[in-house]
Chains A and B, each alone.
Chain A
């Protein structure tokens, strides 16, 4: 308590000293301001990016395994089908879905999907949609909040109804200004009734199955209208490709079953596919990778921030050394009056801390402000976490103490007789 009572005058002295040398103090603080500001804003940007990635992955479902058709890279292996050299047949089959469902342990559900790009029209308006032909369970596996109406039902499936569910992106661009539900849109040469609208995936670095303007239609309807497989010919009709299923989402019983499940799926597929014309994505693995990336990212950011704070600290130390020289006589007076060396150390430490904490607080403001600017300017998400504020503040105190110690010791080590004589 005595300590506190006797410390306060030194804090005030530090403050008045800072105030007396406004310009110098401000310039000295700049290092800390930018150091702390950059720590907070870099953490906010990193946090925002990883939050976005993690959210995207979580929405894919941590219990899910995504199996996707990919065109094999080697040309000669492509044409396993009928017309060699002209029609590339590859990708996942209904048989693959059945085999996975029947042989891989822990599988709860498999959801096949076929994706094609088709032109949609509503009156004058046109938009290229990604048409996802799938079964109603899709909406149980991939979390997608319903904004209006409903999602696909078993009844739609059985009756192969001409209904579709749109993502809000598609809605905005195609139905702008119109009554949304019940609207009839033309896709290719068929008419579909819009029965529901679901929320869009919000971008991000991780590929999501519906990150765009999507129209979901029942798989049965798709088969009836567009055929059993997605056959596409290039211009001139000389080359084409045939893909039965674009994607199979496999839902496992729990997250522990995900990794063995993905290995089993790999094994099943490898037996029936001569070429690797499929890809297996495990959101859980992506999640772990994202977390690892985040950690690495944080270390790199931390190092950069550490360097900038180091520079800030050295700047403060430099000024404090100048201040010690400047105040040599004052130190002599205080020592003559009877101040112990430790009192001088404390006084200069407090003075340094006033500078570093002052800089830290300004930097805190900057660090809260910059992420807001970044978000509004670039649309990049940023998240300022409370811990980063306390961290930055703690660091500025630590910088004050660490870099204040040397000047303070120098001040205390002065011989009072010499110091008094100093002009």
Chain B
């Protein structure tokens, strides 16, 4: 996918993610660190990709850019047809709210909120009325097999259960892209398999899934793999 020449007029309709010459430079003292140094690739709607790379490869920066938490220093990044590079903070927030679902390595549930309230969170920011939020959260919990734990606090759940809740929350806004950052990093291998099976199922339902990981066996679940090294795309394998 990535080897295609740059399209100056924006992404094609089926490209939910498109990066064109994305750079991200930091100034550390007098030095400029090129965390991303001209990355281009695109991801089609409904595909399942892994982004791999050793530490220092720009993987984290890539995740932040893809997740609209950070803006590229140069180049263009289209997420769901809109160029993120030109957005201000509020627009970025709205873009995350509407188009992205995050799944983190350490789950990142809000400890003082119940399972139900955690899942509701994106819906709350979307401005849905309470009744509808409640109903949708229950549905989502059911879809990840957590419907019997709605009133529990995250601290009362096992790691695997927490990650299921996190996935349910990430799906609440029906995102264009489900972005997972080392989603099994804090789980044992049996639970990891279950969570990866969940991603597989979501992919089969037509979701776009991107998993950022350094573990090859996790990356193997994806249909394609982008390998980063020194801030550049080193290799693109497969693709769905």
Instruction: Give the shortest distance, in Å, between A249 (CB) and chain B (any CB).
Output: 72
**Cβ contact within 8 Å between A16 and B112:** yes
Question: Is the CB of A330 closer than 8 A to any CB of chain B?
Answer: yes
Question: Is the CB of B152 closer than 8 A to any CB of chain A?
Answer: no
What is the chain A residue whose CB lies nearest that of B179? A336
Binary flags per residue of A13-46, CB closer than 8 Å to B gives 1, else 0: 1001100100000000000000000000000000
Residues of B80-116 whose CB lies within 8 A of A: 89-90, 93-98, 100, 102, 104, 108-113
CA distance A333 to B93 in the complex (A): 12
The number of chain A residues touching the other chain, given as a range, is 20 to 34
**Cβ contact within 8 Å between B108 and A333:** yes
Query: Chain A residues near B98 (CB, 8 Å)?
Result: 338
Question: Is the CB of A114 closer than 8 A to any CB of chain B?
Answer: no
Binary flags per residue of B104-146, CB closer than 8 Å to A gives 1, else 0: 1000111111000100011011010110000000000000000
Question: Is the CB of B173 closer than 8 A to any CB of chain A?
Answer: yes
Query: Chain B residues near A343 (CB, 8 Å)?
Result: 125
The number of chain B residues touching the other chain, given as a range, is 20 to 34
In the complex, identify which listed stretch (B41-49, B63-71, B155-163, B231-239) lies at the interface while the others stay far away.
B63-71
CA distance A5 to B130 in the complex (A): 8
Query: Chain A residues near B110 (CB, 8 Å)?
Result: 330, 333-334
CA distance A338 to B123 in the complex (A): 10
**Cβ contact within 8 Å between A338 and B97:** yes
CA distance A417 to B98 in the complex (A): 19
Question: Is the CB of A337 closer than 8 A to any CB of chain B?
Answer: yes
Instruction: Give the shortest distance, in Å, between B104 (CB) and chain A (any CB).
Output: 7
CA distance A13 to B117 in the complex (A): 10
**Cβ contact within 8 Å between A338 and B70:** no
Q: Which of A17, A342, A420 contacts B108 (CB 8 A)?
A: A420
Binary flags per residue of B164-180, CB closer than 8 Å to A gives 1, else 0: 00000100010000000
Query: Chain B residues near A334 (CB, 8 Å)?
Result: 110, 121, 125
CA distance A17 to B112 in the complex (A): 8
Q: Which of A8, A17, A335 has the most CB of B within 10 A?
A: A335
Query: Chain A residues near B129 (CB, 8 Å)?
Result: 5
Query: Chain A residues near B102 (CB, 8 Å)?
Result: 336-337
What is the chain A residue whose CB lies nearest that of B98? A338
What is the chain A residue whose CB lies nearest that of B129? A5
How many pairs, one residue from A and one from B, have CB atoms within 8 Å of each other in the complex? 69
Question: Is the CB of A341 closer than 8 A to any CB of chain B?
Answer: yes
Query: Chain B residues near A5 (CB, 8 Å)?
Result: 127, 129-130
Given contacts A5-B129, A16-B112, A329-B108, contact A338 B90 (CB under 8 A): no
CA distance A17 to B90 in the complex (A): 27
CA distance A2 to B109 in the complex (A): 25
Q: Which of B69, B90, B169, B173 contacts A340 (CB 8 A)?
A: B90
Query: Chain A residues near B112 (CB, 8 Å)?
Result: 13, 16-17, 20
Query: Chain B residues near A74 (CB, 8 Å)?
Result: none
Instruction: Give the shortest distance, in Å, between B154 (CB) and chain A (any CB).
Output: 11
Q: Which of B90, B94, B97 has the most CB of A within 10 A?
A: B97
**Cβ contact within 8 Å between A338 and B125:** yes
Given contacts A16-B112, A417-B64, A417-B70, contact A337 B96 (CB under 8 A): yes
What is the chain A residue whose CB lies nearest that of B120? A9
Query: Chain A residues near B125 (CB, 8 Å)?
Result: 6, 334, 337-339, 343
Instruction: Give the shortest distance, in Å, between B55 (CB) and chain A (any CB).
Output: 14
Binary flags per residue of A160-200, CB closer than 8 Å to B gives 1, else 0: 00000000000000000000000000000000000000000
What is the chain B residue whose CB lies nearest that of A329? B108
**Cβ contact within 8 Å between B69 and A338:** no
Residues of A234-288 whose CB lies within 8 A of B: none
Question: Is the CB of A416 closer than 8 A to any CB of chain B?
Answer: yes
Query: Chain B residues near A333 (CB, 8 Å)?
Result: 108-110
Given contacts A329-B108, A420-B108, contact A338 B64 (CB under 8 A): no
Instruction: Give the shortest distance, in Å, between B41 (CB) and chain A (any CB).
Output: 22
Instruction: Give the shortest distance, in Å, between B112 (CB) and chain A (any CB).
Output: 6
**Cβ contact within 8 Å between B108 and A338:** no
CA distance A5 to B126 in the complex (A): 11
CA distance A160 to B97 in the complex (A): 98
What is the chain B residue whose CB lies nearest that of A10? B124
Instruction: Give the shortest distance, in Å, between B183 (CB) and chain A (any CB).
Output: 15
**Cβ contact within 8 Å between A416 and B124:** no
Q: Which of B67, B89, B110 has the most CB of A within 10 A?
A: B110
Query: Chain A residues near B122 (CB, 8 Å)?
Result: 337-338
**Cβ contact within 8 Å between B121 and A341:** no
Query: Chain A residues near B169 (CB, 8 Å)?
Result: 337
CA distance A17 to B113 in the complex (A): 10
Q: Which of B93, B104, B113, B117 contacts A338 (CB 8 A)?
A: B93
What is the chain A residue whose CB lies nearest that of B170? A337
Given contacts A5-B130, A9-B124, A330-B110, contact A336 B89 (CB under 8 A): no
Given contacts A5-B130, A9-B124, A416-B69, contact A336 B90 (CB under 8 A): no
**Cβ contact within 8 Å between B127 and A2:** yes
Instruction: Give the shortest distance, in Å, between B58 (CB) and chain A (any CB).
Output: 14
Instruction: Give the shortest distance, in Å, between B144 (CB) and chain A (any CB).
Output: 17
Query: Chain A residues near B93 (CB, 8 Å)?
Result: 335, 338-341
Instruction: Give the shortest distance, in Å, between B93 (CB) and chain A (any CB).
Output: 4
**Cβ contact within 8 Å between A417 and B69:** yes
Instruction: Give the shortest distance, in Å, between B61 (CB) and chain A (any CB).
Output: 10
Pairs of residues from A and B, 3 with the lowest C-beta to C-beta distance, nearest first: A338-B97, A338-B96, A340-B93
24 A-B pairs, CB-CB below 8 angstroms? A5-B127, A6-B124, A6-B127, A9-B117, A16-B112, A329-B108, A330-B111, A333-B109, A335-B69, A337-B102, A337-B121, A338-B94, A338-B96, A338-B125, A338-B173, A339-B93, A339-B97, A340-B89, A341-B90, A341-B93, A416-B69, A417-B64, A420-B104, A420-B108
Other CB < 8 Å A-B pairs besides A337-B96, A338-B125, 11 of them?
Answer: A5-B127, A9-B124, A9-B130, A13-B113, A16-B112, A20-B112, A330-B111, A333-B109, A334-B110, A417-B70, A420-B69
